Amino acid sequence: MTESKGAGVVRVAVDAPQHSGLNGPLDYASEQALASGTLVRVPLGRRELLGVVWPGEAVGQPEMALRPVAAVFAALPPLGADWCRMLDFAAGYYQRSVGELASAVLPPQLRELSPEQLVARLRKLDRKPAKAAAASPVKPPLAPEQAEAVARIEAQLASAAPRPAPRPALLFGVTGSGKTEVYLRAAEAALAAGRQVLVLVPEINLTPQLEARFTERFAALLPQPLAIVSLHSALTPAQRLQNWLAAHLGRARLVLGTRLAVFASMPELGLIVVDEEHDPSYKQQDGARYSARDLAVWRAHDLKVPVVLGSATPSLESWQHAESGRYERLTLAARIGGGVLPRVRLFDMKSLPATAGVTTALTAPLLAALKERLDRGEQSLVFLNRRGYAPVLHCGECQWKSDCPHCSAWRVFHKRDRTLRCHHCGFTERVPSACPNCGNHDIAPIGRGTEKLEEQLTEALPGARVLRIDADSTRRKGELETQLKAVHDGDVDILVGTQMITKGHDFRRIRFVAAVNPDGALFSSDFRAPERLFALLMQAGGRAGRDASGETPAEMWVQTWHREHALYQALARHDYVRFANDQLAERRSASLPPFSHLALLRAEARTADAAKAFLLAAAELMHDEGVLVYPPVPHAVARVADVERMQMLLEASQRARLQAALRAWVPELIALKRVHKAVLRWAVDVDPLAI
Ligand code: ADP
Ligand code: ZN
Ligand code: ZN
């Protein structure tokens, strides 16, 4: 039960600006007793903001005249003590104020509504018509490995409280091994026990597919309106509030969503699933830079409920936990129906005649392979992680390149709408007809993106139905669904795209996947780049041969200048375990995560010097010698929208040590910022994904 406070003083978590230095909950006067977790509106400065009555004793000095709570959302049950605990933890861990975090993760529309308007919304929920009765679903009999995994999770669900928190389960299953069926069965068991279930996916564009699968399975079991809802940022504000309310009121039994859904209020939460747990999109990249995967594990532990982390290529953090026994590993080694993983062909670019090899991504042997598949009526996927037509336009006379005037980056040439677009700040101009520098008319694109690949494929393979799917082709609502349907229906011969098409999709017809230019990530300065590349290629390869009934062997074609690289060698054998253990050994000897713990201090200013001065001064304020502070360096893209970005890495061997040091440091940084007026923004990123 939530504690009730007597009339008088209440603490309210409210989004006070960081520079004000007010970072805990603030005290307000209230005439009525308010339970913790109650939503309220309170004045702050000249504004009135959404706030949450926070657990704990008010520390306010009685002699101070407190401002009164302006309005109370009395019709809404208070947020649970568990929800407040999670927010307290996350705010502390990621070094933000709890009010800021609460305001960021509650549905945005709550901020705009009055208590009366919210009452109207709640009434509207009651009037949702019931759905037509659904037929009971057909459940496939489980494969032995699936049955084993399901049994383990069911055992965790069944063990009666009080009990220790179950160990997080790492469902390590190759692509096409039926991980989703395991989630469905586990969810079924939790639902049958009267619990709510939360399922997280990395990408918004995977939610419709997942929602369809869960709805198909559970529509008969959960006939009530809003029993299955999704939560992600592509919903309209009204839908998002409606679905959030359904979860909070316990009507939604199953919540499917992207990272923000980890903060859904679910009073009867009994199971959390994190699909593709290794995916970088679980990490929020601004504001409170939380990891939804890590918070899911924390939340499950706090509630003593099972959490299932699924992946064919687990993050090395999770893999290490499985190795050490902290997580329970559940392995699905076989593809459903005996489908074999695609044969990986590492195509050696050095084997091409020197002239041809350098300029072309569509090598003659690759075209021949595509042609062969085409003639047999099979589908292929060509993958290139760069959208647009070409990454840069170039003048052969004066060497002008299409740089962005506001960023340290090239503007990408988009041929379809004849624009030069900066993918960092959005700055867009029409393509000049002549070199803006010397007037030469002969300006040409260098390199290639998906748009050019699409064009070249169409030219090289007349009659082939080529479809490109990337962020540009799917800008309008509904486009992605239409395009995916065309692929599933077999109306496409060759699918071209970015990593958007490599994740999660259960394409049944694809038998050939090509990665035309993946080498870039091999030599990145980011220590996580190989891990990401390996996962991406395994995922991409996993789109091929998902239907075992195909007559020809499925194949993955990787064009590389570095065939012998250990990463590709492990890929060719589908040997994640080998790859992971090699990487972990390297990380251990270099004391990189998961064997050390990192944080980044980022600073942005009009000049690099100003940003750097702030970071250097901040370094002086770090007094814990157990925390190693590296020199400031520019961000990988140093300037964006005329702002210079610098960052400084901190490393400690113990998480708790780093946490304690950050806790002491951040208030000093708030004060420091007042002196460094040229700094526009600064932020601490705990457990940064990219450095
Ligand atoms: P993963 O997520 O591991 O890549 P999926 O869950 O998408 O794999 O499963 C791959 C395919 O196998 C899906 O089409 C799914 O419907 C099917 N499938 C899963 N489990 C079974 C089963 N026990 N019997 C028959 N088909 C199954
Ligand atoms: Zn720009
Ligand atoms: Zn020129």
Overall average pLDDT of the 129-138 stretch: 81
Q: Is 467 in the pocket of ligand 1 (CB under 6 A)?
A: no
CA distances from 8 to 4, 56, 159, 317 (A): 12, 14, 43, 47
What are the φ and ψ backbone dihedral angles of 101, each rounded to 5 degrees? -65, -45
Ligand number nearest to the C-alpha of 404: 2
Q: Is the pLDDT of residue 1 over 60?
A: no
Mean pLDDT value across the chain: 91
Mean pLDDT score, 288-301: 97
Read off the pLDDT of residues 224-244 as tens digits, 9 standing for 90 and up.
999 999 999 989 999 999 999
Q: Which ligand has the minimum distance to the alpha carbon of residue 428?
A: 2
Would you state the pLDDT for residue 673?
Answer: 93
* Count of Cβ atoms closer than 10 Å to residue 520 Cβ: 11
d(CA 667, CA 677): 16
How do residues 411-430 score in pLDDT, each as one tens digit? 999 988 899 999 998 999 99
Locate the ligand 1 atom nearest the alpha carbon of residue 542 and give its number: 4
Reply yes or no on whether the pLDDT at 666 is more than 90: yes
Ligand 1 atom at minimum distance from 141 CA: 23
Ligand nearest to the CA of 138: 1
Q: Rounded to an integer, what distance in angstroms lies between the CA atom of residue 666 and that of residue 399?
A: 46
Q: Above 60 in pLDDT, residue 678?
A: yes
CA geometry: angle 571, 572, 575, nearest 5 deg: 50
Distance 511 CA to ligand 1 centre (A): 17
At 515, list the tokens: 């990665």
Q: Evaluate: CB of 313 within 6 angstroms of ligand 1.
A: no
Which three-class secondary structure state does DSSP give residue 293? helix
Tell me the two tokens of residue 279. 């995916």
> Does any ligand 1 atom lie closer than 6 A to the CB of residue 146?
yes
Q: Bridge-partner residues for 652, per DSSP?
A: 597
Q: What is the pLDDT of residue 160?
A: 62
Q: What is the mean pLDDT of residues 240-256?
A: 97
Ligand 1 pocket member 310 (CB < 6 A): no
551 pLDDT band, cuts 50/70/90, is confident
Atom from ligand 1 closest to the CA of residue 508: 14
Q: Is the CB of 181 under 6 A from ligand 1?
A: yes
Confidence class for position 2, pLDDT limits 50, 70, 90: very low
Both tokens of 473, joined, read 């082709």
Helix H or strand E encompassing 257: strand 254-257
Q: If you measure from the C-alpha of residue 405 to the centroid of ligand 2, how many angstroms do you get, rounded to a whole number? A: 7
Q: How far is the CA of 472 from the centre of ligand 3 (A)?
A: 29
| Structure confidence at residue 12 (pLDDT) | 95
Antiparallel, parallel or unpaired: β 628-629 and 643-652 = antiparallel
Over residues 462-520, the pLDDT tens digits come to 999 999 998 888 888 888 889 999 999 999 999 999 988 888 788 888 999 999 989 98
Ligand 1 and 177: CB distance under 6 A = yes
Å from CA of 401 to ligand 3 middle: 8
Higher pLDDT, 354 or 261: 261
Mean pLDDT value across residues 73-101: 96
pLDDT value at 74 more than 50 = yes
- Poorest-pLDDT segment among 286-290, 306-310, 339-343: 339-343
pLDDT band of residue 5 (cuts 50, 70, 90) is very low
Ligand 1 centre and the CA of 10: distance in Å? 52
Q: Please tell me the distance from the alpha carbon of residue 543 to that of residue 507, in angstroms, as a whole number.
A: 6
Distances from the Cα of 573 to the Cα of 270, 360, 363, 567, angstroms: 38, 27, 24, 10
pLDDT band at 359 (very low <50, low <70, confident <90, very high): low
- For residue 684, the surrounding DSSP H or E stretch is strand 679-686
Give the per-residue pLDDT at 520: 82
Reported as a pLDDT band with limits 50, 70 and 90, residue 169 is very high
More confident residue, 465 or 2: 465
Closest atom, ligand 1, to C-alpha of 183: 6
Ligand 1, atom 24, residue with closest C-alpha? 140
Burial of 6 (0-12, 13-18, 19+ CB in 10 A): exposed
User: What is the structure's pLDDT at 472?
Assistant: 87
> Can you tell me which atom of ligand 1 is nearest the CA of 177?
3
pLDDT for 24-70, tens place per residue? 899 999 989 999 999 999 999 899 999 999 998 776 555 568 899 99
Q: Which atom in ligand 1 lies closest to the alpha carbon of residue 180?
A: 6
**pLDDT tens-digit readout, 316-353:** 999 999 999 999 999 999 988 877 889 999 999 888 87
Please tell me the distance between residue 438's alpha carbon and the centre of ligand 3 in angstroms.
Answer: 4
How far is ligand 3, taken at its centre, from the CA of residue 396, in Å?
Answer: 7
Check if 173 has its Cβ closer than 6 Å to any atom of ligand 1.
yes
- The phi and psi torsions of 128 (rounded to 5 degrees) equal -60, 125
Question: What share of the chain in percent tops pLDDT 90?
Answer: 74
Q: Contact 691/527 with Cβ under 8 angstroms?
A: yes
Ligand 2 mean position, distance from CA 637 (Å): 10
636-649 pLDDT per residue, tens:
889 999 999 999 99
CA 406 / ligand 3 centre spacing (Å)? 20
**For the segment 361-409, what is each residue's pLDDT rounded down to a tens digit?**
888 999 999 999 999 999 999 999 889 988 899 998 999 999 999 999 9
